[in-house]
Amino acid sequence: MVRADASVSIKVLLNATAAHFGFRPTYRRVWMAKQKSIALIYGDWDESYNDLPRWVLGVQMTMPGSVVVLKTSPVRVGGQVDESQAYFHRLFWTFPSCIEAFRHCKPLVSIDGTHLYGKYGGTLLIAIAQDGNSNILPVAFALVEGENAESWTFFLSHLRQHVTLQPGLLVISDRHNGIKAALEAPDGGWLPPSAYRAFCIRHVAANFALTFKGKDARRLLVNAAYAKTEVEFDYWFDILRSEDPAMCEWANRIDYSLWTQHRDEGRRFGHMTTNISECVNSILKGVRNLPVASLVKATYCRLAELFVRKGREAEAQMGTGQQFSQHLVKCIEANMKTARCFTVTLYDRDNSEFTVAETTPTGSFSLGTYRVSLASRTCDCGYFQALHFPCQHALACCAYSRVTWTSYVHSVYQISSVFNVYRMGFTPPIPEGFWPPYDGPTVIPDPDKRRAREGRPRSTRIRTNMDEADPNRPKRCGLCRQPGHTRRNCPQVGGSSQTGHH
């Protein structure tokens, strides 16, 4: 029999049924069978709402410091308020491990929402962070009625108050008016210089494609957005203008600091999208199909597994003497290969200012000249200040001056920082039989949120080249990231301890 969980696709169930029973049922019949199976395994959708108040008490008992805010609205019967019942309205939750983890992540957070696919409609809002190894990590969640100014204000106010406490933080989002209203609220804590906003280029390009058809024009806009220097931006923008001046007029209506990398002052760390699809697919796969109580419980279990796995990997890598994350090491190695062909000229020894001429491998002619300042960590190519680690030109200057390049790397890329992201871990959940009793009103779903018709909602997931793996990537151990062996026979397994709650 096929495992009837929320992540199994209908196509898999159809094929398995055809192979097992010798006939192929209709799509609708298999969809309804899956929904009933989910209800049997994870509980009834209606009753699940009343499980939330006890889960709130249970998770706060299991992990003190968890922030859970449950909002309900009154039930009116015949014009009178029924105090024995209350409609579910909104829920915000995060865990102390996520709060602590964000302190060691890059100083940015991406926010987005995704629709629920169960019996009742709604939206799951997620705040996603990134560690120094380019891993994505959801740090806060909210279940709301939909994406509007009130629901985004509810989510972002609690996110700012409990999780994203750092000043100068960058928020990456789409251009939704609800997000705009919440971020621009005078007392929300999201206005500069406390926080800054940037747009997800995938959403900007999607909006652009609604007006201007054709993949080539969209590609030119994305290339301009990813450009790390004004010269490179102007190059792509001029090509876009030659295609159609109206395209540039459309883009010029958006402040450059919101969608281009060369104007972000290094706050993006190279991240141009919200990563919501990758987060849902890799960490929260299948949760959108679950009853609400099972959904919020799943976030606890999935994150607990993620923290153990990533914590063990970072600990094993530290055990081999590695100083920086695998992502950084790969970038530095690629930059070093080209840095060997450069000619460096020192101009200011006190301020560590250089010019670097790119030359052919034979040294016959120059391909371009760049100014580099190690003191201010800038380079004309834009990579040094955008990514916060030495570009190929800066590495050439370090080699010329006989100084180590490691002092010019942002601390977030250190493997110790990556380990600290996952160091706290999660506590095993206390069994539900030991949770504190709940004596409040019965929480029920809002009947207005009931889906109008049965059937599977149409998926809007669009796969891009970001979903495709690199076939030329060398195989490495999944634990310590060293070549030559696998996770099963990793020498670090015996010496590294399990990452737990501290």
Do residues 342 and 358 lie in contact, with contact meaning Cβ atoms separated by under 8 Å? yes
Give Cα separations from 59 to 55, 68, 408 (angstroms): 6, 9, 42
Tokens of 445: 């779903």
Task: From 490, 441, 494, select the one nearest 73 (Cα to Cα).
Answer: 441
Structure tokens at 324: 């920086």
pLDDT grade, residue 390 (50/70/90)? very high
pLDDT at 470 exceeding the cut of 70: no
Please give the mean pLDDT across all residues of the chain: 87
DSSP bridge pairs for 477: none
**346 or 460, greater pLDDT:** 346
Q: Are 371 and 350 in contact (CB under 8 A)?
A: no
Whether residue 113 has pLDDT greater than 60:
yes
d(CA 155, CA 89): 13
Question: Nearest Cα to 130, choosing from 245, 284, 254, 273?
Answer: 273
Mean pLDDT of 309-330: 95
How many CB atoms are located within 10 Å of the residue 11 CB? 10
Our CA dihedral for 38, 39, 40, 44, rounded to 10 degrees, sits at: 160
d(CA 140, CA 121): 20
Give the per-residue pLDDT at 502.
40
Distance CA 421, CA 415 (A): 10
Q: What is the mean pLDDT of residues 437-462?
A: 74
Handedness of CA 284, 140, 85, 433 (dihedral sign): positive
Measured CA to CA, the distance from residue 276 to residue 284 in angstroms comes to 10
pLDDT in tens, 126-183: 999 999 999 999 999 999 999 999 999 999 999 999 999 999 999 999 999 999 999 9
User: What integer pLDDT is reported at residue 17 of this predicted model?
Assistant: 67
State pLDDT tens for residues 24-48.
777 677 766 766 776 677 678 889 9
Please report the pLDDT score of residue 477 as a whole number: 81
CA separation for the pair 311, 381 (Å, rounded): 35
Tokens of 175: 């251009």
Q: How confident is the model at residue 467 (pLDDT cuts 50, 70, 90)?
A: very low
Query: In Å, how far from its chain's centre is CA 99?
Result: 15
pLDDT of residue 7: 55
pLDDT in tens, 212-247: 988 889 999 999 999 999 999 999 999 999 999 999
Q: For helices 245-252 and 215-226, what crossing angle results, to 10°?
A: 40
Share of the chain above pLDDT 90, in %: 68
CA pair distance 296, 303, nearest whole angstrom: 11
Mean pLDDT across 355-366: 70
Taking the C-alpha atoms of residue 6 and residue 119, their distance in angstroms, rounded to an integer, is 13
Q: Higher pLDDT residue, 391 or 39?
A: 391
What pLDDT does residue 348 have? 83
Paired with 109 in beta bridges are 171
When computed from its CA atoms, the radius of gyration of the chain, rounded to whole angstroms, is 26
pLDDT attached to residue 254 = 96
Of residues 363 and 493, which shows the higher confidence score? 493
- Given this model, what pLDDT does residue 265 score? 94
Which of 135, 137, 138, 107 has its CA nearest to residue 124?
138
- For position 471, what pLDDT does the model report? 55
- For the segment 259-305, what is each residue's pLDDT rounded down to a tens digit? 999 999 999 999 999 988 888 888 898 888 889 999 999 999 999 99
pTM: 0.84
The pLDDT assigned to 486 comes to 83
